[in-house]
Amino acid sequence: MDFVILSLVMLAIGIYGLLTKRHLLKVFISIELIATGATLNFVTLASAMGKGLGEAFLILAFSTDTAVSAVILALLVIISKKYHTSDISDLVQLEDNYESEDEM
Amino acid sequence: MILEAISIGLIISACLALFLDEAVYSIAALAGTFFFTAILYVANGAVFVAIFQFAVGVGTLAILFLSGEMLSEKPTKKTSLKSTFALIGAGVFLSLPAIFLSVSNTNAVGPDVSFGDALWNLRGVDVVLQGLVIMTIALGIAIVLYEKRTGGK
């Protein structure tokens, strides 16, 4: 059982979702999966080296991850309410429309 | 054997979280991911981290359920049972390398520092407090953005 490969697989799944999914919530879930893979790797290496400091730093990583999640979710809800869509392609199209209106 | 089963569950729930169409089911699968990750933390001897993962995960998932309901449009076609099983199969397949291959050296190297020592003697508690400060800032940003949206009403 190798936790390093497990965390690499998690990272790969997260990156795949980040590149292919168009729904904002799925993008957020992909970011969470990448963070989970990273923390799993962190725990594995910290416990393999027998250093408790790794766990303390991991709690900082969790706090930062939660803070980032809070900001992303706030922005996500605002965008969804303002533009009535949570699809990245639609949002890009909206931005293009704004730019073409500004040029005219 | 138990760890292998947990790792398979972790990968399957990660795949389901990413590929299920319904937002609520997707978030429920993400909850499974958090749960299996916490068990793996315990297996690695990081019990405090697992507890923290549970605490943080419950809060994140509660907000995710709320925003997931707000954001989700009803999917035009439901995920069929066949594709769900295909996802589970893909998860099992993806977790095989983690079970049968090995790249890491798990021998203990360096001095053994306990979690309490790391917190109190190696200034780890500063790190925790920094995390709380960052989290407070993030909540502040969220509230400011909310007030900006509603016009401060």
What string of H, E and C letters represents the secondary structure of chain B?
CHHHHHHHHHHHHHHHHHHCCCHHHHHHHHHHHHHHHHHHHHHCCCHHHHHHHHHHHHHHHHHHHHHHHHHCCCCCCCCCHHHHHHHHHHHHHHHHHHHHCCCCCCCCCCCCECHHHHHHCCCHHHHHHHHHHHHHHHHHHHHHHHHHHHCCC
pLDDT at B149: 61
Q: Please, which residues have CB within 8 angstroms of residue B103's CB and are 6 or more apart in sequence?
A: A2, A4, A5
Q: Do B103 and B123 sit in the same domain of this protein?
A: no
Mean pLDDT of chain A: 82
Domain count, chain B: 2
Per-residue pLDDT of chain A (104 residues; tens, 9 = 90+): 688 888 889 999 999 998 888 888 888 899 989 988 888 888 888 887 776 777 777 877 887 788 788 778 877 878 887 887 778 878 777 777 777 776 66
Q: Do B117 and B93 sit in the same domain of this protein?
A: no
- Sort out which chain B residues have CB atoms less than 8 A from A64's CB and list them: 131, 134
* C-alpha atoms less than 13 angstroms from C-alpha of B44 in its C-beta half-sphere: 35
Q: Rounded CA gap, B95 and B9, in Å?
A: 9
| Cβ within 8 Å, pair B128-A30 | no
Q: Do B129 and B75 sit in the same domain of this protein?
A: no
The Cα of A84 is separated from the nearest Cα of chain B by a number of Å equal to: 9
Q: Do B78 and B120 sit in the same domain of this protein?
A: no
Q: Do B77 and B151 sit in the same domain of this protein?
A: no
Is there a contact between A3 and A37 (Cβ–Cβ < 8 Å)?
A: no
CATH number at residue A68: 1.10.287.3510
- Sort out which chain A residues have CB atoms less than 8 A from B30's CB and list them: 29, 32
Q: CB atoms < 10 A from the CB of B54, how many?
A: 15
Burial B7-33 (b: 16+ CB within 10 A, else e): bbbbbbbbbbbbbbbebeebbbbbbbb
Q: Which of A7, A8, A9 to mutate to test the interface with B (most CBs of B within 10 A)?
A: A9
Model confidence over B39-68: pLDDT tens digits?
888 888 888 888 888 888 877 777 777 777
The Cα of B70 is separated from the nearest Cα of chain A by a number of Å equal to: 8
- Over its C-alpha atoms, chain A yields an Rg (Å, rounded) of 18
Q: Do B31 and B97 sit in the same domain of this protein?
A: yes
ipTM over 0.90: no
Amino acid letter for position A89 = S
- State the first-to-last Cα distance of chain A, in angstroms, to the nearest integer: 61
Domain around B27: 2-109
Q: Do B105 and B117 sit in the same domain of this protein?
A: no
The Cα of A34 is separated from the nearest Cα of chain B by a number of Å equal to: 10
Is there a contact between B40 and B6 (Cβ–Cβ < 8 Å)?
A: yes
Q: Please tell me which residue, B29 or A50, carries the higher pLDDT value.
A: B29
| Cβ within 8 Å, pair A48-B97 | no
Domain around A33: 3-103
Q: Do B62 and B128 sit in the same domain of this protein?
A: no
Q: Do B34 and B90 sit in the same domain of this protein?
A: yes
Q: Do B80 and B8 sit in the same domain of this protein?
A: yes
Q: Rounded CA gap, B15 and B92, in Å?
A: 10
Q: Rounded CA gap, A46 and B124, in Å?
A: 14
Domain count, chain A: 1
Q: Do B36 and B97 sit in the same domain of this protein?
A: yes
Q: Do B140 and B75 sit in the same domain of this protein?
A: no
